Amino acid sequence: MSRSVALAVVLITLGLAADMTAAAAERVGIGHAISPQDFAAWDIDVRGDGAGLPPGQGSVTQGREIFSQTCAACHGDKGEGRAVPGAVGGFDRLVGGFGTLDTASPTLTVGSYWPYATTLFDYVRRAMPFNAPQSLTNDQLYAVSAYVLYMNNIVPEDAVLDALTLPRVKMPNQEGFITQDPRPDVRSKP
């Protein structure tokens, strides 16, 4: 087969494949372009530097109320966690564990381990309360994040958190992660 014939065969095949895909989609009647409104419901990631944080604000005091009503049943009144029969580890402890990370039995909590306060907001927004995820408003999320940080002695009792102040909260273990992994097979891209 000459080169130009081969190329023509490839192009015709690609053209047919595209036509067939469009025809198949039409025939079975599935799929449509995502609308900006539908996309917005999924576009909720918040990064370590706070990019993606929504408007709103919440205080430790407001968070205390929300925590006792929507979180304490599983995580304990003081964020100490709860044993659950049959579930390894139970419901996570959210408070304490400082100074244990380099011991034989490290206690990983939001306070002792997580490097960014903004991750707390992001995680609770997408996943908590476990039985009703994404049911809290942005104000409630800022408030309950403030309260979890307060229980860990990371912010003072009069703290009010929003998109500007939350990323400024310095987490105790922020420097505990390696940014450049020296192993040759996992080198980060420049």
* Residues at the site binding ligand HEC, with contacts judged by CB under 6 A: 70-71, 73-75, 91-92, 94, 108-110, 120, 123-124, 128-131, 144, 148
- Least CB distance to ligand HEC at residue 74 (A): 3
Tell me whether residue 21 or residue 134 sits nearer to ligand HEC (CB atom).
Answer: 134
Tell me whether residue 165 or residue 173 sits nearer to ligand HEC (CB atom).
Answer: 173
- Least CB distance to ligand HEC at residue 140 (A): 8
- Least CB distance to ligand HEC at residue 49 (A): 19
Tell me whether residue 98 or residue 123 sits nearer to ligand HEC (CB atom).
Answer: 123
Tell me whether residue 113 or residue 167 sits nearer to ligand HEC (CB atom).
Answer: 113
CA distance 31 to 25: 7
C-alpha separations of 62 from 38, 48, 59, 161 in Å: 30, 24, 5, 11
Tell me whether residue 50 or residue 67 sits nearer to ligand HEC (CB atom).
Answer: 67
The residue behind tokens 């049959």 is 86
Q: What is the CA radius of gyration of the chain?
A: 24
Tell me whether residue 145 or residue 189 sits nearer to ligand HEC (CB atom).
Answer: 145
Q: Does residue 75 contact residue 152 with C-beta atoms inside 8 Å?
A: no
Instruction: Count other C-beta atoms under 10 Å from residue 127's C-beta.
Output: 10
CA distance 94 to 108: 8
- Least CB distance to ligand HEC at residue 169 (A): 14
- Least CB distance to ligand HEC at residue 71 (A): 3
CA–chain centroid gap for 186, Å, is 23
- Least CB distance to ligand HEC at residue 138 (A): 13
Q: Does residue 125 contact residue 136 with C-beta atoms inside 8 Å?
A: yes
Both tokens of 135, joined, read 């049911």
